């Protein structure tokens, strides 16, 4: 080996094979795993420092032929920043390293002397990555260098310490101490995790706090925090002391960062970015071993501090530092994720929106770059890692909001005929983070930030849902956004559900064709033949027979035929079928459902005479509508969708179910005077009206008429009242309805993808009638263009229609008067020329959203024919 390439055995092992280096240390010195990691990092830092000096100062050999050495004369002068970046790159490439110049060998404590401050500073200075040395070199002269090398860099940072450093820098007009401090602190997990600590709780205060606290109601981490012994479960007291970290004082962090960012960011941004990149690298390297050893508290502190940095969503911090942090954080153990979520939901909750915006900004930036490279967003590591981090934020947002008791979640329903309603066949696996936190999205009544703000529209537009669905179904562990549905818009998630439903339909169709080889008749579709005048009787009878004989047939594609009418069902006939069924089912003559006078919401009639089978078949109809991608004109309260997703109705659900009753009960709860019994005169007996207007009394407790509601029992009364109206009174009807619904959707990812409010959107469609969107997305055929006079007249007439007539136009052209998720632009309406001017009315192919429009001679004639068509062609004119 040439002398220029000679290095110590330890350095060579570290540079070429860090794992081998660790093994060598372990075998020769029999050190612990913790010491191995420390020595490995020290060796890496040492080599990077040598590369840096080689690039900036050279090796001192006038005949050096190393192109990566300043002494060779082949290199152009490098700035400290450029040299730092190239030093790290050379280290990763295992590039040639010259023998070090004697004058550039890092000083040892024994060479320095007895000056304590000088020794301490030099040790910190030597152990730091070259980025800190770079920034120091670039911001002060050699004379200043000697001066500031005598000032020790702290091993952790406090608010006052940062103020002092800033004041000192401003007084001396040199910011190198600040740059070195930021580099030293923010590149080290240990240093940063100990920074900005909260004041320790004294044993007296802790004991006092514990005496007034219900220990059983606290989580383990909270108890530890009160006791000031967060790590008392460690194997030994010494290990516990070594790994104990005080919680971060978030308010102090914010004040310190506010003071820092009052300076010009150009002063310290490079140093901070480089330090954070180094920190991320250390996190990635140490997380696997930390997981094995259970040392994680400091990681939470580090991430809390990092995500409080004000400029994290802009400049180099956004483009370089934040991606590195996200990549490192994607390997966090579930326990650390849960701890971080709790911290973010507590004292750091006011930063949730800012953290969310930073992550969304990063995803937007990377998504745009991905599109330019024709690259799938699922394969972009920064996007996927930021999404995983956003999931922690998503749960923190729930914890920071208004949560209801998990006891309101049910896992089975009591049914009068079948006993316990079985869970779906393909029950989705639980989320480990949700399990660790003990929270579910259904528990969150009001999140701290609206769930809709987590939608990322540019990403949703960029996701190829067919490929994402394939990843979701794959067993290879490929990333799929369907496992992170909070980030996708409802319209994009609908595509994921559509693919799942269609694949299941094709699978059933293929099985049916294969049955022909066994001699069985082939039935590739779910065919319903009904009479228009007896649609309910015919549909429910056929569906009942199918559900009893072969329930799997419900998973086939629906095809409807109206007896005595011509037409092939390509979707349009099915839409009309569902519309007519819904109109009949909610007809008061059937008395299966009642209309709430205050909210006009449809609800189960608790005194209905209909059998359970009837309600089960209504549930099947609702499930078939979702399964076949049909929007229904129903007006259920939100509590129904919450119950369908697995949450019992509660007091807050009364707000949109019966707002008058809700406000009355709320006044009862808010009344704090001692004379509540005299003012409200309420007992535990309630009264309600059935669908026929008769008053029915019900005792919430035995002999409820004799039990007055008091200040002590008012919450119990309200909970029992809501539970009766929304759960117990309709338990029989809803259980049958739920069972029918699950017969169709039990194997779909419906519950995984959608929250209750999104289920309503999926079933009922959007309420945004923006016909400008429809105009911009409409296509033309048969000779028409958007510049044709008839087309200009058409849109002029349409925009002037009333909302009711616009609904009729949608019904006429698409078979449904509802707006699909994502708005009218999703309809893809086509207007085709249907001959020259004539007296014929416009017609439509509702299966394909095609409007056939003759080229009328005037705008007035166009309006006359169009209005007549949409008002008088129900069941006719729609092909």
**Count of CB atoms within 10 A of residue 475's CB?**
5
State how far the alpha carbon of 535 is from the alpha carbons of 206, 283, 542, 631, 815, in Å: 71, 65, 11, 19, 17
Closest listed residue to residue 309, CA positions, set 325, 296, 295, 297: 325
Give the separation between CA 484 and CA 494, rounded to whole angstroms.
14
Of 646, 649, 642, 623, the residue nearest 763 (C-alpha): 623
- DSSP designation for 104: G
Q: CB atoms < 10 A from the CB of 510, how many?
A: 11
The DSSP string of 502-568 is HHHHHHHHHHHHHHGGGTPPP--SEEEEE-GGGHHHHHHHHHHHHHHH-GGGGGSPEEEEETT----
What residues contact residue 224 under an 8 Å CB cut-off, 6+ apart? 230, 231, 232
Count helices and strands (H / E) in the chain: 41, 14
Specify whether the CB–CB gap between 848 and 814 falls below 8 A. no
DSSP per position, 391-424:
HHHHHHHHHTSEE--GGGB-S--EETTTEEPPPP
Angle, CA 522 vertex, CA 519 and CA 528 arms, to 5°? 145
Six token digits for residue 245: 């970290």
Based on the residue annotation, tell me whether 847 is a catalytic residue of this protein.
yes
Cα dihedral 585/586/590/591 (nearest 10): 140
| DSSP three-state, residue 226 | helix
| Of 662, 664, 657, residue with least CA distance to 639 | 657
- Distance in angstroms (rounded) separating the CA atoms of residues 120 and 111: 13
Query: Which has the closest alpha carbon to 156: 134, 178, 186?
Result: 186
Q: Which residues of 219-230 are buried (b: 16+ CB within 10 A; e: fewer)?
A: eebebbbbebeb
- Please tell me which residue in 59, 64, 98, 847 is annotated as part of the active site: 847
Place of tokens 């009333």: 802
Nearest to 689 by CA among 735, 645, 725, 654: 725
Query: Judging by beta carbons within 10 Å of its beta carbon (0-12, 13-18, 19+), is residue 328 exposed, middle or buried?
Result: buried
DSSP string, 836-860: SS-SPPPEEETTTTEEEE---SSHH
Helix (H, G, I), strand (E, B), or coil: what is residue 12? helix
Longest CA pairwise span in the chain (Å):
107
> Cβ contacts of residue 855 below 8 Å, gap of 6+?
790, 833, 835, 836, 837
List, in order, residues 6 or more apart from 204 with CB less than 8 Å away: none
Residues 201/293, Cβ–Cβ less than 8 Å: no
Interior/surface letters 158-167, b for 16+ CB within 10 angstroms, e for the rest: bbebbeebbe
- Cα torsion 199, 204, 206, 210 to 10°: value is -160
Query: What does the block give as tokens for 592?
Result: 């299966």
Q: How far is CA 378 from the centre of its chain?
A: 15
CA angle 68, 70, 72 (to 5 degrees): 80
Q: CA dist 332 to 42, 240, 812, Å?
A: 24, 21, 54
Residues annotated catalytic, as ranges:
847
């Amino acid at each position: 080996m040439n002398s220029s390439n000679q290095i110590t055995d330890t350095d060579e092992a570290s540079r070429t094979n860090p794992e081998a280096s660790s093994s060598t240390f372990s075998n020769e010195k029999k050190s612990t795993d913790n010491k191995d990691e420390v020595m490995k990092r020290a060796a890496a830092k040492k080599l990077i420092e040598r590369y840096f000096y080689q690039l900036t100062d050279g090796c001192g050999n006038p005949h050096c032929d190393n192109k990566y050495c300043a002494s060779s004369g082949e290199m152009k002068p490098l700035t400290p920043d450029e040299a730092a970046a190239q030093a790290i790159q050379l280290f990763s490439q295992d590039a040639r390293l010259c023998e070090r110049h004697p004058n550039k060998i890092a000083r040892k404590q024994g060479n320095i002397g007895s000056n304590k401050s000088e020794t301490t500073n030099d040790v910190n200075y030597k152990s730091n990555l070259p980025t800190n040395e770079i920034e120091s070199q670039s911001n002060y002269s050699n004379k200043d260098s000697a001066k500031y090398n005598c000032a020790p860099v702290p091993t952790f940072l406090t608010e006052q310490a940062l103020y002092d450093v800033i004041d000192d820098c401003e007084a001396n007009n040199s910011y190198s101490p600040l740059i070195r401090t930021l580099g030293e602190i923010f590149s080290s997990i240990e240093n940063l995790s100990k920074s900005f600590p909260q004041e320790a709780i004294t044993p007296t205060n802790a004991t006092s706090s514990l005496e007034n606290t219900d220990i059983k109601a606290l989580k383990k981490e909270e108890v530890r925090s009160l006791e000031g012994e967060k790590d008392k479960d460690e194997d030994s007291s010494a290990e516990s002391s070594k790994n104990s970290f005080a919680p971060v004082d978030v308010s102090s962090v914010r004040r310190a960062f506010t003071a820092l960012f009052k300076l010009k960011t150009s002063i310290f941004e490079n140093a901070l970015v480089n330090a954070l990149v180094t920190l991320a690298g250390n996190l990635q390297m140490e997380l696997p071993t930390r997981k094995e050893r259970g040392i994680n508290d400091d990681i939470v502190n580090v991430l809390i501090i990092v995500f409080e940095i004000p400029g994290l969503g802009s400049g180099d911090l956004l483009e370089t530092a934040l991606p590195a942090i996200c990549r490192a954080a994607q390997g966090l153990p579930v326990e650390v994720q849960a701890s971080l979520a709790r911290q973010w939901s507590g004292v750091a909750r006011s930063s949730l929106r800012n953290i969310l915006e930073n992550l969304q900004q990063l995803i937007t930036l990377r998504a745009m770059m991905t599109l330019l490279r024709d690259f799938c967003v699922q394969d972009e590591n920064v996007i996927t890692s930021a999404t995983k981090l956003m999931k922690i934020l998503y749960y923190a947002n729930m914890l920071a909001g208004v949560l209801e008791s998990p006891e309101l979640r049910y896992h089975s329903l009591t049914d009068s005929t079948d006993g316990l309603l079985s869970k779906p066949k393909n029950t989705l696996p639980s989320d480990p983070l949700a399990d660790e936190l003990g929270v579910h999205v259904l528990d969150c009544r009001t999140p701290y930030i609206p769930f809709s703000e987590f939608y990322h529209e540019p990403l949703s537009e960029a996701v190829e849902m067919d490929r994402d669905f394939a990843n979701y179904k794959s067993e290879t562990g490929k990333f799929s956004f369907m496992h992170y549905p909070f980030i996708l818009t409802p319209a994009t998630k609908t595509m994921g559900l559509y693919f799942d439903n269609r694949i299941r339909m094709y699978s059933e169709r293929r099985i049916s064709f294969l049955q022909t080889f066994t001699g069985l008749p082939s039935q590739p579709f779910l065919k319903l033949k009904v009479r228009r005048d007896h649609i309910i009787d015919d549909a429910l009878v056929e569906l009942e027979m199918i559900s009893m004989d072969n329930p799997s047939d419900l998973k086939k594609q629906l095809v409807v035929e109206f007896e005595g009418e011509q037409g092939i069902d390509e979707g349009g006939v099915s839409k009309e079928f569902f519309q007519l069924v819904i109109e009949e089912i909610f007809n008061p003559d059937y008395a299966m459902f009642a209309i709430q006078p205050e909210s006009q919401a449809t609800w189960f009639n608790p005194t209905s005479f209909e059998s359970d089978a009837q309600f089960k078949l209504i549930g099947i109809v609702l499930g078939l509508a979702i399964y076949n991608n049909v929007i229904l004109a129903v007006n259920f309260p939100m509590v129904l969708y919450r119950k369908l997703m697995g949450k019992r109705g509660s007091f807050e659900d009364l707000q949109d179910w019966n707002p008058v009753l809700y406000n009355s009960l709320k006044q009862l709860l808010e009344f704090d005077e001692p004379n509540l019994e005299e003012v409200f005169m309420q007992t535990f007996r309630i009264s309600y009206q059935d669908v026929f207007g008769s008053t029915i009394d019900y005792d919430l407790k035995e002999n409820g008429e004799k039990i007055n509601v008091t200040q002590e029992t008012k919450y119990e009364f309200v909970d029992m009242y809501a539970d009766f109206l929304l759960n117990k009174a309709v338990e029989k009807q809803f259980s049958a309805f739920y069972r029918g619904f699950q017969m169709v959707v039990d194997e779909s990812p419906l519950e995984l993808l959608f929250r209750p409010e999104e289920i309503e959107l999926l079933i009922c469609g959007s309420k945004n009638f923006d016909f400008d969107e429809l105009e911009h997305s409409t296509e033309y055929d048969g000779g028409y263009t958007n510049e044709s006079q008839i087309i200009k007249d058409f849109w002029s007439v349409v925009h002037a229609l009333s909302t009711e007539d616009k609904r009729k136009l949608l019904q006429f052209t698409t078979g449904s008067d509802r707006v699909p998720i994502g708005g009218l632009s999703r309809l893809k309406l086509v207007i085709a020329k249907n001959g020259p001017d004539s007296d014929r009315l416009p017609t439509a192919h509702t299966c394909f959203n095609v409007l056939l429009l003759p080229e009328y001679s005037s705008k007035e004639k166009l309006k006359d024919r169009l209005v007549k068509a949409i008002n008088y062609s129900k069941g006719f004119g729609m092909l």
